[in-house]
Amino acid sequence: MSGMAAAAPGTNGNGQARERKPPGHRRGAAPPEMPAEHALLGLITLTGGEAHGYELARHFDPAHPLGLGEILRLEQSMLYQHLKKLERQGWLTVSLQPQGTRPPRQMYRLTEAGRAELRRWLAEPVARTREIRLEFLVKLFFALQLDRDRAARLIADQEDVSRGIAADLEAQLASLAGRAGDDPAATTELTFRRMVLELRLDQTRAVTAWLNAISGTRGAARA
């Protein structure tokens, strides 16, 4: 099956080393949202601008009172990899803080670039309805605690995006209704396409309604 001669790793037929672009994300797709990493930036800010890994990990426990762990889980093993990646990106700096006999804490602090990235991310609504359940909720979690005004704007912007998605789906449904009825063989596939679009539309409308409802929850938090 795989007995064919393959070029040696990192070479082409001429034996020349090639430059290989890092994989990155799919061409047509939107860039990844990386909610876990931004959550770390947010958590460090929430805990007073400085935190160590173990402390951050506790926030991802499903039983943690603030509730982040209920929407986003982060294994301890990934935590440190994310923190290293964030450091490579220049979004945070690490400093060792000795602890006597215990293993020294790695104290993480945001850089100015890290703070800017967190602000940018918090201001950006998500592009797709399926990203509401994870990415948007994480944004909302931090926006509510860091800056109520920013949270209100985020909700409003997201509502606009969701309305746009709904309008687009409605247009697609309308164009589907145009070519209906004549060919019974094509009816099955049209039926399925319509079902898919209707599901997406219903989900998007539910999100829009929810966004509208929570934007109304202003001071009702106190009552």
Partner DNA sequence: CGGGACATGTAACACGTTACATGATTAG
Partner DNA sequence: CTAATCATGTAACGTGTTACATGTCCCG
- Out of 15, 21, 98, 216, the only residue in the binding site for DNA (CB under 7 A) is 21
From CA 34, how far away is CA 44, in angstroms rounded? 16
x/- map, 3-42, its own copies, by CB under 8 A: ----------------------------------------
Rg of the chain taking only CA atoms, in angstroms: 24
Find out whether 50 and 108 touch, Cβ atoms under 8 Å.
yes
How many beta carbons lie within 10 A of that of residue 218, not counting itself? 10
x/- map, 99-118, DNA, by CB under 7 A: xxxxxxxx------------
Secondary element (H or E) of residue 138: helix 137-146
How many beta carbons lie within 10 A of that of residue 100, not counting itself? 5
x/- map, 62-81, its own copies, by CB under 8 A: ---xxx--xx----------
85 part of the interface to its own copies, by CB under 8 A:
no
**Using CB under 7 A, which of the segments 68-76, 111-119, 124-132, 143-151 binds DNA?**
68-76
Residue number with CB closer to its own copies (8 or 185): 185
Beta strands in the chain (DSSP E): 50-52, 92-99, 102-110
Residue number with CB closer to its own copies (116 or 195): 195
